[in-house]
Structure 1
């Protein structure tokens, strides 16, 4: 073969190879798809120490987050914060009187290989109902009876219909075989509270502790026999930090892949432009409000409350105090929980506020700078805790109201003292504090007139017969459409009545490495349920043939 023929042959081979490459790429694009593959390791940083990785005792955000990785309940929350089946095969069969819930269990295993049965469900509920175990969840189950119909069928009987009850069924289940051997005293001291055997998507692999007993990290591995499918990410490591500063140092040193916070609990600043991170901001059913004690004579006047609300620049508080990590609200009814709620507006208008006070008979005395009516003056004491978010918001509001002719003295103290000395006896004119609602929008404990005394949390001592009726009607039905209608009516009443100035709804800021895919949570009943979705996250991918 001559040189010329050889060159032509080489050129033809190169053309063929290039053509094959393009054809292969076109084939891959047309007939295959990229899908998640198993593998990889995710490391999350959490501020705080685990103490009770046990569904019956977990109250801290650290414990509850770990419980949601290691345990499963009959139901869980999906990416939009709605309840969906987990250990249950389907949604419950509910009796005509809405009091009896019958649930079938799917085939599921504990991490030790035993089968999850209805006896485990019954044991979990009856144990937390037993006052000897002193579970903080007990109050949610006092009016419920639970029975095992057969090995895979469980039945709950309520004393009265309850709209929020389905949320109770997201409680993770513990194993009767493991825990029933322990007395109440042994139960709370068990090593199983730190090295649990659960039934969730991940199982404990290793717990790393220092000599003083503090936990440095917990290593988890995907549970291969999980009842839906194994998680894509094969291992998860949770590292524990004392404060935000040390956590951020670990992030910048690439020692963790992600972390989360909300401004009410940890003041952390992470910019959307942070390199290598995707920042998610997810609304939480938690809000900051300034509660008026409506038993105080002047604060019992609607126009005074309306004037104070109109003079409050909520947008400035959101920007300066929350670093825009929050949402403006107008009532205790939140858009993430109720459909078709009107968009909130922020209409700060000092002139309108002054006019409202004057219409109510509040004027400046000669030479004075505080409005009065007769012998009454617009002077108040505003109480809050020592949380920076609440303190700074209170200071801004006091400054804004000064121009209105209202004088306010700020009183702050540690949360425990505030609760015992001020909140429980309702010994305040105003209180700036946060309400944490939970998964269901039911505001009974916060706004029904029967809850004006401790331990009720109607912090405004607010009483309105129409509001009471709407709250009672909404919590007595499981019909979502009817409940939404009642809550929108409630929203409209409270927006006008203003027993409190509803300031900012909290968001959960979650920063995770760009390499992590599959995070799709848009709403959460609380920050700890972000891990319900972790079984769908992935780091690795593969190509598979597409089905026609």
Structure 2
């Protein structure tokens, strides 16, 4: 007993005199639904591609020692870190950066990044310095640098761009990121089951703590969940709230805010009834957005009131005070606007051939939380005499057939901002048609002018003031019913530490700071 007491006192003293610190070592495995095809920043096509790019390549922002704005934001100069190197040991230079941008801009690459680099030229200042020249000042250009992952010119320069998608470097990449490719497993039918990555000892931001990072690929969520519950993987990203109850092992839930919102976008050019602003206002008043967000996401979403998510510091907080749910007010607004209930209980106006009924088709991507949202909306609108016909389509068909052609009366869809309040792609009138993302086909000259000024001015005070005005203007025009901004959910074993993010822009951003993740610790004296 005395020996036990002494041992206990010794352990207790050790705990008081020491602290637990991260150490190098261990393995972490993440599960992903899908397959990698082009692990190449210029042509990455799938979510799996972009996830691996974020680990195997370093962004220009991370490779930069210094970033300077010149000429009121119309020119930017970047100086690379002296120790930035590719996984094969060669240094990252300005030639690699310029080469990457030229390939992104080349139409033959069909790069999904091309739109963000249109009208921008890059020139070599020295081996470690690049100057970017913009056609017009752009206040948010630093976000372009965060999204640019240079590729090694010495490996790709001699490959014709038409053959890039055939290159073995797309599946066995040589990057400059925190991890380097070591091996992969592929079934006889060609299905890739696993990628294994090793910590990059020469990473510009410091060697990662975790020695080995594995990616395991699954054909569906069912197999993914089973793998986690069998302790075959340690982390899963982008989880739907409805699936959380199916995780059997103890886990930690990391809920990250994201610059996105979901809304119903009205298209009055296809259904003239939706041109009536009072109809659109009544449809908004009939929806209890707080109840909707809580029912679907629990505490992992916030109500959205306008074109900028509430999580942004530039959000116009006054909008939240002006929005209220009231079925009675919605019905009263329709009644006073001449929309009376007909023999079928639907709101209508006129008679005979000129009779108009408030009925529309609502196109919805076949995603569980969006399907649940559509059912809630349909019930809320039924209560005020409005009929919504829900049309469920695959996300791929919605993107390629519906959004591209603007062939919808109403569309339940999401917008993802680039981490900054640049609303040009989503609300400027020049973006009403594909490839623009103005899904409400919104057109307002005052809004256009504000959007243009916001993205060009270097005056932060003026930008904030103009953003407040712009948000109020768009909300007053009612081009969409803004619903909610859900968080990005990441499930990990309780062994994972060092995950410091509280927000992200795109799913691969969860790996920002991955070099600080750790699963091994040791005690050291304070």
TM-score by length of 1: 0.87
Aligned residues: 517
Out of 472, 491, 495, the residue aligned to residue 511 of structure 1 is 491
Given that 2:143 and 2:418 are in contact with CA atoms closer than 8 Å, whether structure 1 keeps it comes out as no
Matched residue SS, 1:230:
coil
Partner of 1:82: none
Partner of 1:429: 409
CA distance in 1 between counterparts of 2:394 and 2:58 reads 36
Aligned pairs for 1:5-404 (under 5 A) are: 18=6, 26=13, 29-30=16-17, 32-75=18-61, 86-90=62-66, 92-107=67-82, 108-170=84-146, 171-263=148-240, 269-271=243-245, 275-295=249-269, 296-322=271-297, 325-339=300-314, 341-342=316-317, 344=320, 347-365=324-342, 367-374=343-350, 375-404=355-384
Matched residue SS, 2:257:
strand
Give yes or no for the alignment of 1:475 onto 2:455: yes
Task: Give unmatched runs, 5+ long, in structure 1.
Answer: 1-10, 76-85
Given that 1:333 and 1:491 are in contact with CA atoms closer than 8 Å, whether structure 2 keeps it comes out as yes
Given that 1:338 and 1:484 are in contact with CA atoms closer than 8 Å, whether structure 2 keeps it comes out as no
Task: Give unmatched runs, 5+ long, in structure 2.
Answer: none
Partner of 2:445: 465
Summarize the Cα distance change of 1:95–1:493 in structure 2 as closer, same or farther, 3 Å threshold: same
Summarize the Cα distance change of 1:344–1:360 in structure 2 as closer, same or farther, 3 Å threshold: same
Computing the radius of gyration from Cα coordinates, the structure with the larger value is 1
Given that 1:294 and 1:462 are in contact with CA atoms closer than 8 Å, whether structure 2 keeps it comes out as no
Matched residue SS, 2:184:
strand
Higher helix share: 2
CA distance in 1 between counterparts of 2:499 and 2:244 reads 18
Given that 2:308 and 2:315 are in contact with CA atoms closer than 8 Å, whether structure 1 keeps it comes out as no
CA distance in 2 between counterparts of 1:211 and 1:482 reads 60
Partner of 1:5: none
CA distance in 2 between counterparts of 1:476 and 1:272 reads 48
Shift of 1:146: 0.6
Summarize the Cα distance change of 1:221–1:419 in structure 2 as closer, same or farther, 3 Å threshold: closer
CA distance in 1 between counterparts of 2:252 and 2:77 reads 42
Given that 2:64 and 2:81 are in contact with CA atoms closer than 8 Å, whether structure 1 keeps it comes out as yes
Shift of 1:274: 5.8
The one-character-per-residue Cα deviations of 1:245-304 (angstroms, maximum 9, x if unpaired) are 1011111111111111144xxx85114996421001112222221111134443223222
Matched residue SS, 2:172:
coil
CA distance in 1 between counterparts of 2:87 and 2:460 reads 36
Summarize the Cα distance change of 1:349–1:151 in structure 2 as closer, same or farther, 3 Å threshold: same
CA distance in 1 between counterparts of 2:516 and 2:458 reads 29
CA distance in 2 between counterparts of 1:350 and 1:531 reads 44
RMSD (Å), alpha carbons: 2.7
Matched residue SS, 1:501:
strand
Aligned pairs for 1:509-548 (under 5 A) are: 509-546=489-526
Given that 2:292 and 2:373 are in contact with CA atoms closer than 8 Å, whether structure 1 keeps it comes out as yes
Shift of 1:417: 4.3
CA distance in 1 between counterparts of 2:248 and 2:445 reads 50
Shift of 1:214: 1.7
Shift of 1:328: 1.6
Summarize the Cα distance change of 1:69–1:417 in structure 2 as closer, same or farther, 3 Å threshold: closer
Given that 2:309 and 2:315 are in contact with CA atoms closer than 8 Å, whether structure 1 keeps it comes out as no
CA distance in 1 between counterparts of 2:10 and 2:388 reads 76
The one-character-per-residue Cα deviations of 1:395-447 (angstroms, maximum 9, x if unpaired) are 32122111212122333334454455543443332222222333333121211
Given that 2:338 and 2:349 are in contact with CA atoms closer than 8 Å, whether structure 1 keeps it comes out as yes
Q: Which has the higher mean CA deviation after the structures are superposed, 337-346 or 516-525? A: 337-346
Summarize the Cα distance change of 1:332–1:235 in structure 2 as closer, same or farther, 3 Å threshold: same
The one-character-per-residue Cα deviations of 1:213-247 (angstroms, maximum 9, x if unpaired) are 22111111111111221111111111111111101
Shift of 1:467: 1.9
CA distance in 1 between counterparts of 2:11 and 2:374 reads 65
Shift of 1:480: 4.7
CA distance in 1 between counterparts of 2:309 and 2:393 reads 29
Shift of 1:376: 2.5
CA distance in 2 between counterparts of 1:277 and 1:361 reads 55
Given that 1:439 and 1:526 are in contact with CA atoms closer than 8 Å, whether structure 2 keeps it comes out as no
Aligned pairs for 1:480-499 (under 5 A) are: 480-499=460-479
Given that 2:198 and 2:213 are in contact with CA atoms closer than 8 Å, whether structure 1 keeps it comes out as yes
Matched residue SS, 1:97:
helix
Matched residue SS, 2:488:
strand
